[in-house]
């Protein structure tokens, strides 16, 4: 079974629960962690983790958890992962800070897809898990919500304003989410009576003085108009200094940012652009798709209507050098881009995506790019034109003038490679994918 990876979590929205609570290990880790596992095993209906993973993978069992914790023991404590590969997928990172002045238990839980929590029964089970943890491991503040919407929020440690959290802690209620846990300090700052009278689906006082607040019966419809109104209304109740209309407008803007945009990429770059959106955070993805839809690549200028005559004395030696350059590129990149060995249009798109995703032009000096990468890439691009479009090399002493003749045009792969590798943006503006598509139109 495949472990749920960060890339997987970035493809579809998930329910994210960020929880940090006090941990008492005075009677041993197993005793202190038992209530945590009790809550999971009793209430994680349909999404219970099935295996434990550290340096090795074990089927879920308490004994496996204890073994994993000991295996990952370090100066600070221990960190392990609990996972589920079946639908819904689960990734739970559990960190035990055992040697701190105030030992704690930190959880980062993702359950995918978010649509699993469109049903009230699933949500009730999740709330029961949160209740069990918050009752046993006192927390200053914790929340569960759509991961995409969390990234758009301004709440410290949950959204973008991490510096505020580091400076002030959770000194006030910055945001409300689908599920919220407020520690006694936050409750008292608001006023316990006011907190307990919040207009919400569930407001429950826990034995340790914390308050569990759930806005609505289900989590998946967080971006509906009804949910946004409820979110704003409850937030203003807890923060009378805020303006309801302003809050609601901001929440509606967040919902609008997550509305799916249909990809309509230019056909010459569609093979590449169709792969780009998954590289962006869910909160940015729809805006990026709209931007990519509007992108219109400039017609390639790296061609001549008439070939410059070859001026090399030993064509075989030059071609052999080009082969060495091309093979060098394949040797360096074949692990990251396996298709490069096939010299196909698809391999060019794979190279485009690899260079863009890894910020390649920004990671290496101009000396490396100009002296190694660009010459190798130009030779490889030319070879693909020769092999796949029936082109013919026309060699020149000045490498950037070397051409590949296809039909009535000659193409300049080394010049294209130089322009292509100037910046991360130029990888899209001068993509290898588009260059091949344009050259293909002139194939006899």
Give the span between the Cα atoms of 275 and 283, in whole angstroms. 17
Q: What is the DSSP letter of 264?
A: -
| Helix or strand (DSSP H, E) at 409 | strand 409-411
Find the largest Cα–Cα distance for the chain.
91
Residues 15-44 have pLDDT tens digits of 999 999 999 988 999 999 999 999 999 999
- Average pLDDT in the chain: 93
- Statement to judge: residues 144 and 196 lie in one domain: yes
Does residue 32 lie in a domain region?
Answer: yes
Structural domain harbouring 103:
6-258
Q: According to the model, what pLDDT value does residue 55 have?
A: 84
Let me know whether 70 and 184 are in one domain. yes
Task: Reply yes or no on whether the pLDDT at 159 is more than 50.
Answer: no
Query: Is residue 162's pLDDT more than 80?
Result: no
pLDDT tens for each residue of 271-296:
999 999 999 999 999 999 999 999 99
Q: Assign 7 a pLDDT band (cuts: 50, 70, 90).
A: low
Q: From the CA atom positions of the chain, what is the Rg in Å?
A: 28
* Residue 113 exposed, middle or buried by CB count within 10 Å (0-12, 13-18, 19+): middle
Residue 161 has pLDDT above 70, yes or no: no
Pair 154, 241 in one domain: yes
Strands 51-53 and 77-84: what pairing? antiparallel
pLDDT of 10 reads: 61
Length of the chain: 444
In a domain, 267, yes or no: no
Q: What is the number of structural domains in the chain? A: 2
Query: Same domain for 162 and 52?
Result: yes
Tell me which residue of 420, 389, 426, 423 sits closest to 404, measured CA to CA: 389
Reported as a pLDDT band with limits 50, 70 and 90, residue 2 is very low
Co-location of 248 and 352 in the same domain: no
Is residue 11 pLDDT above 90, yes or no? no
pTM of the model as a whole: 0.83
Domain boundary among 232, 258, 284: 258
């Amino acid at each position: 079974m495949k472990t749920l990876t960060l890339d997987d979590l970035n493809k579809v929205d998930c329910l994210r629960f960020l929880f940090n609570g006090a941990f008492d290990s005075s009677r041993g880790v197993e005793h202190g962690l038992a209530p945590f596992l009790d809550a999971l095993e009793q209430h994680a209906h349909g999404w219970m983790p099935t295996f434990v993973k550290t340096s090795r993978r074990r089927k879920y069992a308490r004994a496996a958890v204890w073994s994993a914790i000991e295996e990952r023991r370090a100066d600070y404590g221990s960190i392990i992962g609990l996972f589920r590969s079946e639908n819904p997928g689960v990734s739970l990172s559990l960190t035990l800070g055992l040697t701190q002045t105030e030992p704690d238990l930190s959880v980062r839980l993702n359950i995918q897809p978010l649509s699993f929590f469109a049903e009230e029964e699933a949500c009730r089970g999740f709330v029961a898990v949160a209740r069990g943890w918050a009752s046993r491991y006192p927390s200053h503040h914790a929340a569960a919500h759509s991961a995409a919407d969390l990234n758009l929020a301004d709440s410290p440690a949950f959204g973008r304003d991490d510096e505020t959290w580091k400076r002030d802690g959770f000194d006030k209620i910055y945001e409300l989410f689908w599920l919220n846990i407020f520690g006694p300090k936050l409750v008292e700052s608001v006023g316990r009576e006011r907190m307990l009278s919040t207009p919400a689906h569930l407001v429950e006082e826990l034995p340790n003085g914390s308050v569990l607040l759930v806005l609505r019966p289900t989590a998946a419809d967080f971006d509906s108009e009804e949910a946004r109104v409820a979110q704003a209304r409850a937030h203003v109740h807890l923060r009378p200094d805020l303006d309801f209309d302003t809050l609601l407008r901001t929440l509606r803007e967040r919902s609008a940012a997550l509305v799916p945009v249909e990809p309509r990429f230019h056909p010459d770059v569609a093979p590449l652009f169709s792969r780009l959106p998954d590289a962006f955070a869910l909160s940015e993805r729809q805006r990026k798709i709209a931007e990519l839809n509007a992108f219109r690549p400039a017609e390639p200028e790296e061609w001549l209507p008439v070939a410059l005559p070859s001026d090399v004395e030993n064509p075989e030696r030059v071609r052999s050098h080009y082969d060495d350059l091309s093979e060098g590129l394949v040797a360096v990149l074949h692990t990251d881009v396996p298709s490069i060995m096939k010299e196909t249009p698809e391999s060019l798109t794979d190279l485009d995506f690899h260079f863009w995703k890894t910020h390649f032009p920004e990671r290496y000096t101009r000396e490396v790019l100009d002296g190694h990468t660009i010459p190798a890439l130009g030779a490889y691009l030319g070879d693909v034109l020769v092999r796949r479009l029936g082109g013919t090399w026309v060699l020149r002493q000045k490498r950037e003038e070397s051409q590949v003749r296809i039909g009535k045009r000659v193409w300049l792969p080394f010049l294209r490679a130089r322009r292509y590798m100037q910046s991360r943006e130029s990888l899209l503006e001068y993509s290898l994918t588009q260059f091949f598509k344009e050259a293909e139109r002139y194939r006899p």
